[in-house]
Amino acid sequence: MITVLIADDHSLVRAGLRRIIEESNEIRVIAEAEDGRQAMNKIKETPPDVAVIDISMPGMDGLELIGHIVDYLPELPIIVLTMHEEDQYVIRAIKAGARGYVTKRSAPEHISAAIKKVHNGGRYLTQTASEALAIHMATTQKDHRSLLDGLSNREVQVLRRLALGQTNHEIADSYNISVKTVDTYRLRLLKKLNLRNNADLSRFAIQHNLIQI
């Protein structure tokens, strides 16, 4: 039996959703919440197998709630069930840690399948959400490729070595340059690629096949 928490500020929506979900003998709703704080408290009291949450809720909204859930219980699969179909909501929800995105308009035919899918470790996006995410990923990859093309050969060399975990001293010795110069390259890379730290540089290098893992 898959246990579910529903978080939505409309009682009629929660009631209708519970009825749809429990039509499946494999799923049971064990908790309801009308806002993010209440949802977080109930998750701490009795963790469900899956959390189904709305984005628009008073106080702590759904996106903030996702962040708290990921911090407290990162293995808990989250499905966003919302009226919002705009691309930016899909992207922000998935980036925050949601494993599913279902619109309320399509909920009756998708929600039970989504719950089962994310519970088994998969992702579930309705067609609109999937298309929005695909466009975003394609655009991001294109932007990253343009950023990579803007690096000098030495910057790419330093990027590769940083991504491999080498220290500034090791890189300086390899190229017979000062440690300060290496750090200048590192800071320049962070600025050019709009990244925050060495971990981000490593991920960027892996995504663009600059290093082998």
Domain 2-134 annotated CATH 1.10.10.10? no
Sign of torsion over alpha carbons 52, 57, 61, 65: negative
Task: Give the pTM.
Answer: 0.63
Which ranges of the chain does DSSP label H, i.e. alpha helix?
11-21, 36-45, 62-72, 87-96, 107-119, 127-149, 153-163, 168-175, 179-193, 198-207
Nearest to 36 by CA among 61, 9, 11: 61
Per-residue pLDDT of the chain (213 residues; tens, 9 = 90+): 999 999 999 999 999 999 999 998 899 999 999 999 999 999 999 999 999 999 888 888 898 899 899 999 999 999 999 887 666 677 778 878 899 999 888 778 789 999 999 999 998 887 666 655 555 555 555 555 566 777 887 888 899 899 888 899 999 998 889 999 999 999 999 988 888 888 888 888 887 777 755
Q: How far apart are CA 53 and CA 20, in angstroms?
A: 15
**Residues 28 and 1 sit within 8 Å (Cβ to Cβ):** yes
CATH number of 150-207: 1.10.10.10
The residue extents of the domains of the chain are 2-134, 150-207
